[in-house]
């Protein structure tokens, strides 16, 4: 799934688009199930908040900016449970992580509705689920065409080399980087088609603009790590994930008990 050139591109830039990881048949089932999940379970009030919004949204866009989100899609759909353990993707991630084993960590839907899909400020994903080191990859599984008009993902090329950065945070403020130093305008757009997966490092700075198109832009972020990389806080802390490639290595202080839980009683 990935060749040497792609691995080198990823190491240099901190992101990589993998074309057509999923077949049209897999995508049809994933898309149909996602529409059901959005109608039935998702949070329609999930747009990120904070002072950065005045830089990203015009006055007339502010009140209608909407993000539909939900976590752990595999709890709702068999098509998505299969998508997460896809061996083609797992092989690619193992090559990018340079690891024999890959562990699934979490999944999160970010759906931008037509004409009103909310933007994301420039940030790393590290503050949301901090890990001890950089051996963590986020993947964006694309359900719809994502382009400039619909608010595709944008990356600051090479920014993963900066390592973990301090983010602006606070009550009611989504973690983000200072808007004057880290600008969406300086980022590289990565448009993608349904079935494509865009991979990036937990340290790569990224964001996206408003969906100005008349169509949905649905993306599911799925996080994977080298099982040696210990989580120290945030989303999905305290639970072992499915091993999608290889076998779980022994990691001191992070033993899984016979019931499948981390470190009982610790």
CB-nearer residue toward ligand AKG: 22 or 101: 22
- Which residue number, 103 or 125, has a Cβ lying nearer to ligand AKG? 125
Question: Distance (Å, rounded) from C-alpha 152 to C-alpha 157?
Answer: 15
In angstroms, give the least distance from the CB of 128 to ligand AKG. Answer: 7
Residues in CB range of 84: below 8 A, 6 or more apart? 74, 104, 107, 222, 242, 244
Please report how close the Cβ of residue 149 comes to ligand AKG at its closest, in angstroms.
13
Cβ pair 101, 249 in contact under 8 A: yes
Q: How far, in Å, CA of 199 to CA of 141, rounded?
A: 9
Q: What is the DSSP letter of 242?
A: P
d(CA 199, CA 155): 11
Q: Shortest approach of ligand AKG to residue 169 CB, angstroms?
A: 15
Among residues 73, 126, 219, 220, the one that binds ligand AKG under rule CB under 6 A = 219
Classified as helix, coil or strand, 174 is strand
Q: 57, 210 in Cβ contact below 8 A? A: yes
Q: Residues touching ligand AKG: how many (CB under 6 A)?
A: 9
Q: Does 203 bind ligand AKG (CB under 6 A)?
A: no
DSSP string, 46-78: ----STTHHHHS-HHHHTT-B-EEEE-GGGT-H
By CB under 6 A, tell whether 196 contacts ligand AKG.
no
Among 189, 198, 124, CA closest to 159: 124
- How do beta strands 153-155 and 188-189 pair? antiparallel
Minimum distance, C-beta of residue 161 to ligand AKG, in the bound complex (Å): 19
Say how far residue 221 (Cα) sits from the centre of its chain.
3
Q: How far is the CB of 219 from ligand AKG (least distance, A)?
A: 5
Rule CB under 6 A: say whether 208 interacts with ligand AKG.
Answer: yes
Least spacing, CB of residue 265 vs ligand AKG, in Å: 33
Residue from 160, 206, 225, 245 that binds ligand AKG (CB under 6 A)? 206
Rounded least distance, CB 112 to ligand AKG, Å: 7
* Binding status of residue 226 toward ligand AKG by CB under 6 A: no
Q: Tell me which residues in 108-167 interact with ligand AKG (CB under 6 A).
A: 110, 120, 125, 151, 153
Among 221, 223, 244, 245, interactor with ligand AKG by CB under 6 A = 221
Q: Which residues inside 78-97 make contact with ligand AKG, applying CB under 6 A?
A: none
Residues 6+ apart with CB under 8 A from 151: 112, 117, 119, 208, 209, 210, 211, 212, 213, 217
Residues 16-75 that bind ligand AKG (CB under 6 A): none
How many C-beta atoms surround the C-beta of residue 141 within 10 A?
Answer: 28
106 binds ligand AKG (CB under 6 A): no
Give whichever of 101 and 118 is closer to ligand AKG, judged by the CB atom: 118
Q: How far apart are CA 186 and CA 182, in angstroms?
A: 8
Binding site for ligand AKG (CB under 6 A): 110, 120, 125, 151, 153, 206, 208, 219, 221
């Amino acid at each position: 799934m990935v060749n040497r050139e792609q691995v080198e591109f990823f190491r240099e830039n901190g992101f990589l688009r993998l074309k057509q990881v999923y077949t049209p048949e897999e995508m049809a089932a994933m898309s149909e199930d996602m529409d059901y999940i959005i109608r039935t379970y998702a949070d329609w009030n999930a747009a990120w908040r904070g002072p950065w919004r005045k830089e990203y949204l015009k006055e007339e866009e502010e009140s209608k900016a909407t993000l539909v989100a939900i976590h752990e899609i595999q709890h709702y759909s068999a098509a998505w449970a299969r998508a997460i353990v896809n061996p083609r993707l797992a092989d690619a991630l193992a090559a990018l992580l340079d690891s024999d084993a890959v562990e699934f960590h979490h999944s999160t839907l970010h759906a931008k509705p037509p004409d009103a899909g909310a933007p994301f400020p420039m940030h790393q994903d590290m503050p949301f689920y901090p890990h001890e080191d950089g051996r963590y990859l986020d993947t964006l599984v694309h359900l719809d065409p994502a382009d400039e008009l619909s608010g595709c993902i944008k990356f600051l090329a090479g920014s993963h080399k900066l390592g973990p950065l301090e983010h602006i945070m606070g009550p009611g403020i989504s973690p983000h980087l200072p808007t004057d130093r880290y600008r969406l305008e300086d980022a590289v757009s990565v448009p993608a088609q349904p079935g494509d997966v865009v991979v990036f490092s937990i340290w790569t700075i990224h964001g996206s603009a408003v969906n100005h198109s008349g169509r949905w832009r649905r993306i599911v972020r799925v996080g994977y790590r080298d099982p040696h990389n210990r989580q120290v806080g945030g989303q999905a802390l305290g639970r072992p994930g499915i091993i999608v490639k290889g076998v779980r290595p022994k990691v001191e202080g992070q033993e899984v008990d016979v019931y499948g839980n981390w470190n009982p009683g610790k």
